[in-house]
Chain A
Amino acid sequence: DSGVTQTPKHLITATGQRVTLRCSPRSGDLSVYWYQQSLDQGLQFLIQYYNGEERAKGNILERFSAQQFPDLHSELNLSSLELGDSALYFCASSVVPGHGEAFFGQGTRLTVV
């Protein structure tokens, strides 16, 4: 158990819909990262938050957004969903950005039908 909790584990939704994925980082970790793992794109970095503020952006679509709340949990919002958004979405956390390893949650499997 990495200490990073993601909910839900599985999500099935229709095209055009909006979903919210939730992540609770390890206790004490201030930095949260979101990654997308799809079959054809591999593991790609989406966005990073540190202590409530956006720190870095990767290949995140405009239809996607995220935030980190005062209790440090984070949410990834995916809207106007398309079939191609079907993927495994991971959250990871680390104590301080730029140092040491990141610990991953178990991921949320999103299926868009």
Chain B
Amino acid sequence: AQTVTQSQPEMSVQEAETVTLSCTYDTSESDYYLFWYKQPPSRQMILVIRQEAYKQQNATENRFSVNFQKAAKSFSLKISDSQLGDAAMYFCAYRELDTGRRALTFGSGTRLQVQP
């Protein structure tokens, strides 16, 4: 079964600085999706970024980028120029590409605090 591990329960960053959240996963599949979701205090689950495993290029969305290391099964999220609004729980998630289980498997989350 696929598993997703986030080893950092909490992280803290100063406003305008850069922070990296770690995620590792275990799968025997060669094609799959990886995601980072943000959950602010409102509890809404917001998609931050998506990576297809067959793409070698790391995904980027404005201040958010990933470092996808397929061989190492690592998928870290880098937040640049951190803002107060980035404070939230961040969940790494895995999903099979097409067949089998199509639901998301989530990590346990990392709580990010942003210090002014």
Contacts and interface: CB of A to CB of B under 8 A. Distances in A.
Interface stretch (B17-25, B62-70, B74-82, B100-108): B100-108
Contacts of A109: 43
Most buried by A among B37, B102, B105: B102
A25 interface: no
B103 A88 contact: no
A90 B50 contact: no
Contact of A104 (B44, B95, B97): B44
B45 to A, nearest CB: 4
Interface string B69-91: 00000000000000000000001
A98 interface: yes
B16 interface: no
A104 B106 CA distance: 14
The range of chain A's interface size is 20 to 34
Interface in A1-33: 2, 31, 33
Contact of B102 (A35, A43, A55, A90): A55
Nearest to B98: A98
A37 to B, nearest CB: 8
B43 A88 contact: yes
Contact of B98 (A2, A99, A102, A103): A99
6 contacts: A43-B91, A58-B103, A99-B97, A106-B42, A107-B44, A109-B43
Interface of A: 2, 31, 33, 35, 42-45, 48, 55-56, 58, 88, 90, 92, 97-104, 106-107, 109
Interface of B: 33, 35, 37, 42-47, 50, 91, 95-99, 101-109
